[in-house]
Amino acid sequence: MQTTLIILKPDAVQRGLMGRILSRFEDKGLQIVGCKMIQIPQEMAERHYSDHKGKPFYDGLVSFMTSSPVLVLAIRGVGAIAICRKMMGATFGSNAEGGTIRGDFGVSNSFNLIHGSDSPEAASKEMELFFGAGEVLDWERAGEKWVYDLSGDEPE
């Protein structure tokens, strides 16, 4: 099982898309193990996007991410990182395929609705930045056996 960080960005929150986007992850069979609405402080946004510091879009990105509340999620499942990124679609809404979150809800190349960790290392680092001790829960879903084939050694 992997746990990944997903952020529903200010545009998703302001447009009232949180429930519809969150439902897609649950409908897919992924488990929500952490969830909170926050206003990202400047220093947290700068840390989160530190890899982009010095790039032309950095200041605008930090400003955008601190402009309104966001919904921060910890999502768990087998291959959760790759599955979530595929569900999100191409970075720019204008290029994203229909059926993806960005493809169905976005047209902007600046406002792209959602962030998702791109690797296990990034997920670990980002989870630590956005969630404190005890905020990501381990819990068993009653219907887990209907999401994954658990008859073998590994969930499938």
pLDDT in tens, 48-70: 999 999 999 999 999 999 999 99
Check: CB of residue 8 under 8 Å from CB of residue 71. Answer: yes
Looking at the predicted structure, is the pLDDT value of residue 152 above 90? Answer: no
**Residue 41, burial from CB neighbour count under 10 angstroms (0-12, 13-18, 19+):** exposed
Percent of the chain residues topping a pLDDT of 70: 100
Is it true that domain 2-132 has CATH number 3.30.70.141?
yes
pLDDT digits (tens, 9 = 90+) for 66-120: 999 999 999 999 999 999 999 999 999 999 999 999 999 999 888 999 999 999 9
Look up residue 1 and give its amino acid: M
DSSP letter, residue 100: S
CA dihedral 90, 96, 102, 103 (to 10 degrees): -160
Looking at the predicted structure, is the pLDDT value of residue 145 above 90? Answer: no
What are the residues facing 36 on neighbouring strands?
72
Looking at the predicted structure, is the pLDDT value of residue 156 above 90? Answer: no
Binned at pLDDT 50, 70 and 90, residue 26 comes out as very high
Q: What angle do CA 131, 105, 125 make, to 5 degrees?
A: 20
Between 151 and 135, name the one with better pLDDT. 135
Check: CB of residue 76 under 8 Å from CB of residue 82. Answer: no
Instruction: Dig out the tokens for 103 from the structure.
Output: 């493809």
Catalytic residues: 115
pTM, entire model:
0.94
Task: Give the pLDDT confidence score for residue 43 in this predicted structure.
Answer: 97
Say how far apart CA 93 and CA 111 lie, in whole Å.
Answer: 8
Rg (CA), the chain: 16
Look up residue 27 and give its amino acid: D
